[in-house]
Amino acid sequence: MRSELTVAVAQEEVLWVEKYRPRSLDDIVNQKEIVERLKKFVAEKNMPHLLFAGPPGTGKTTAALALVHDLYGDNYRQYFLELNASDERGIDVIRNKVKEFARTVPPGDVPFKVVLLDEADNMTADAQQALRRTMELYTQTTRFVLACNYLSKIIEPIQSRTALFRFYPLKKEDVVNRLAYIAKNEGVEYDEKALETIYDITQGDMRKSINILQAASAYGKVTVEAVYKVLGLAQPKEVREMINSALSGKFNEARAKLRELLVNYGLSGEDVVKQVHREITGGELQIPEELRVLLADYIGEVEFRIMEGADDEIQLSAMLARLAMYGEKYLKKGE
Question: Rounded to two decimals, what is the model's pTM?
Answer: 0.79
Q: Same domain, yes or no, for 162 and 174? A: no
Structural domain ending residue among the three candidates 182, 203, 231 = 231
20 domain-assigned: no
| Least confident among 95-109, 249-263, 316-330 | 95-109
96 domain-assigned: yes
Q: Same domain, yes or no, for 50 and 101? A: yes
Around Cβ 24, how many Cβ atoms within 10 Å?
13
Share of the chain above pLDDT 90, in %: 50
Q: Same domain, yes or no, for 220 and 102? A: no
Confidence of residue 261 (pLDDT cuts 50, 70, 90): confident
Structural domain ending residue among the three candidates 135, 166, 197 = 166
Q: 80: part of which helix (H) or strand (E)? A: strand 80-84
- Helix, strand, coil percentages in the chain from 3-state DSSP, rounded to 5: 65, 10, 30
CATH of the domain at 184: 1.10.8.60
Confidence of residue 282 (pLDDT cuts 50, 70, 90): confident
210 domain-assigned: yes
Over residues 301-311, the mean pLDDT reads 93
Query: How many structural domains are present in the chain?
Result: 3
Tell whether the model's pLDDT for residue 146 goes beyond 60: yes
| Least confident among 91-105, 119-133, 186-200, 243-257 | 91-105
pLDDT digits (tens, 9 = 90+) for 64-74: 999 999 999 88
Higher pLDDT, 137 or 210: 210
24 domain-assigned: no
Q: Same domain, yes or no, for 243 and 263? A: yes
Tell whether the model's pLDDT for residue 105 goes beyond 80: no
Q: Same domain, yes or no, for 260 and 179? A: no
CATH of the domain at 118: 3.40.50.300
pLDDT score at 65 = 93
Provide the mean pLDDT of the chain: 86
Confidence of residue 220 (pLDDT cuts 50, 70, 90): confident
Q: Same domain, yes or no, for 153 and 109? A: yes
Tell whether the model's pLDDT for residue 190 goes beyond 70: yes
Q: Same domain, yes or no, for 209 and 121? A: no
Q: Same domain, yes or no, for 258 and 148? A: no
Q: Same domain, yes or no, for 195 and 119? A: no
Structural domain ending residue among the three candidates 186, 215, 231 = 231
pLDDT score at 2 = 41
pLDDT score at 86 = 61
CATH of the domain at 275: 1.20.272.10
Q: Same domain, yes or no, for 227 and 162? A: no
DSSP 106-170: PPSSS--EEEEEETGGGS-HHHHHHHHHHHHHTTTTEEEEEEES-GGGS-HHHHHTSEEEE--PP
278 domain-assigned: yes
Please give the C-alpha separations between residue 292 and each of 68, 111, 278, 280, 329, in angstroms, as whole numbers: 49, 58, 11, 6, 13
181 domain-assigned: yes
pLDDT score at 92 = 65
Domain span at residue 108? Answer: 31-166
| Least confident among 29-33, 147-151, 183-187, 280-284 | 280-284
Burial of 6 (0-12, 13-18, 19+ CB in 10 A): exposed
